């Protein structure tokens, strides 16, 4: 596996990997350093499951609506998205460049009786190995890689024809700096200082352009909006000012 990592790691940013490995033990603590993701996760799952169901004509009322679908969760971390996808019946491969995340993910999945294939690898290595998937989840990762276009191109290579790519990230503007960095890292202290680099944030139009350059066809984008009064997240058709998500199809 180490040689596989070395063979195709052009988009890996070692400094970014180190940040998340340092927090690995707290992935499943809802009040720990990943509290923002735990709070956002129900909203993310609503969008993800709706998009998969629509694209593959699945009924979410069924016990295992994603049975028969092969899904990659790239940058899986501790498995916050891999596990609910597995519970819905998908065959899940969780991949992460931060090796320290994977023992936490594997243990939590085992405790929950879930069979998830967690791998210390990259999108490029998986693509070079000829792996293909019906769905690629690329959530809160693209702002941490060294070359977003190369990374998205690798994700496109991983998709079967007609496959679905879901990508969420953070907009780049004064509001996102105030909320995602000053608010989350300095005021609320939800994340360690330095977790995000504002200069790596990507605007929705920039991401759409990158997705097209990578060979994908963007079909939808929505905002994830935090309400500090209700202390909850919701999906918005219009407000993509901070957190947002895109859906794209492979040719």
Q: What is the pLDDT of residue 198?
A: 74
Q: What is the pLDDT of residue 189?
A: 57
Q: Determine contact, residues 133/108, Cβ cutoff 8 Å.
A: no
**Between vectors from CA 125 to CA 207 and to CA 250, what angle results, nearest 5°?**
45
Structure tokens at 234: 């919701």
Across the beta sheet with 91-96, the strand order is 117-120, 91-96, 70-74, 133-139, 159-170, 243-249, 217-227, 232-236
Q: What percent of the chain has pLDDT over 90?
A: 71
What's the CATH architecture for 14-71+127-250?
3-Layer(aba) Sandwich (3.40)
Q: What percent of the chain has pLDDT over 70?
A: 87
Q: What is the pLDDT of residue 164?
A: 99
Greater confidence (200 vs 189) lies with: 200
Q: What is the pLDDT of residue 199?
A: 82
Structure tokens at 115: 């069979």
171 band by pLDDT with thresholds 50, 70 and 90: very high
235 band by pLDDT with thresholds 50, 70 and 90: very high
Q: What is the pLDDT of residue 3?
A: 40
Average pLDDT over residues 11-32: 78
Q: Determine contact, residues 81/245, Cβ cutoff 8 Å.
A: no
Q: What is the pLDDT of residue 176?
A: 81
Q: What is the pLDDT of residue 194?
A: 62
Q: What is the pLDDT of residue 213?
A: 98
Average pLDDT over residues 153-178: 94
- pLDDT at residue 183 is higher than 60: no
pTM as predicted: 0.88
Q: How far is Cα of residue 157 from the mean position of the Cα atoms in its chain?
A: 17
- pLDDT at residue 5 is higher than 60: no
Annotated binding-site residue? 96: yes
Q: What is the pLDDT of residues 31-79, one digit of tens each?
A: 887 887 888 999 999 999 999 999 999 999 999 999 999 999 999 999 9
Structure tokens at 114: 């879930």
Q: What is the pLDDT of residue 15?
A: 81
Annotated binding-site residue? 44: yes
Q: What is the pLDDT of residue 1?
A: 44
Q: How far is Cα of residue 93 from the mean position of the Cα atoms in its chain?
A: 13
Annotated binding-site residue? 75: yes
Q: What is the pLDDT of residues 64-119, one digit of tens each?
A: 999 999 999 999 999 999 999 999 999 999 999 999 999 999 999 999 999 999 99
């Amino acid at each position: 596996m180490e040689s596989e990592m070395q063979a195709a790691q052009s988009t890996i940013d070692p400094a970014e990997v180190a940040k998340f490995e340092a927090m690995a033990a707290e992935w499943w603590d809802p009040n720990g350093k990943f509290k923002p993701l735990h709070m956002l996760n129900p909203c993310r799952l609503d969008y993800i499951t709706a998009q998969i169901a629509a694209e593959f004509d699945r009924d979410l009322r069924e016990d295992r609506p994603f049975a028969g679908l092969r899904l990659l969760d790239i940058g899986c971390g501790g498995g916050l998205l891999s596990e609910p996808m597995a519970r819905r019946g998908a065959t899940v491969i969780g991949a992460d460049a931060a090796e320290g995340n994977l023992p936490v993910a594997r243990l939590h999945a085992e405790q929950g009786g879930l069979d998830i294939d967690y791998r210390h690898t990259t999108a490029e290595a998986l693509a070079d190995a000829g792996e293909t998937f019906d769905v690629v989840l690329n959530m809160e990762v693209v702002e941490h890689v060294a070359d977003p276009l190369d990374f998205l191109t690798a994700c496109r290579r991983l998709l079967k024809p007609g496959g679905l790519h879901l990508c969420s990230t953070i907009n780049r503007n004064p509001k996102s700096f105030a909320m995602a960095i000053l608010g989350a890292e300095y005021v609320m202290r939800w994340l360690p200082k330095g977790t995000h680099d504002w200069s790596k944030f990507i605007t929705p139009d920039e991401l759409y352009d990158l997705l097209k350059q990578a060979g994908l066809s963007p079909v939808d984008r929505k905002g994830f909006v935090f309400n500090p009064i209700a202390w909850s997240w919701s999906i918005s058709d219009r407000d993509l000012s901070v957190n947002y998500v895109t859906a794209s199809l492979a040719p």
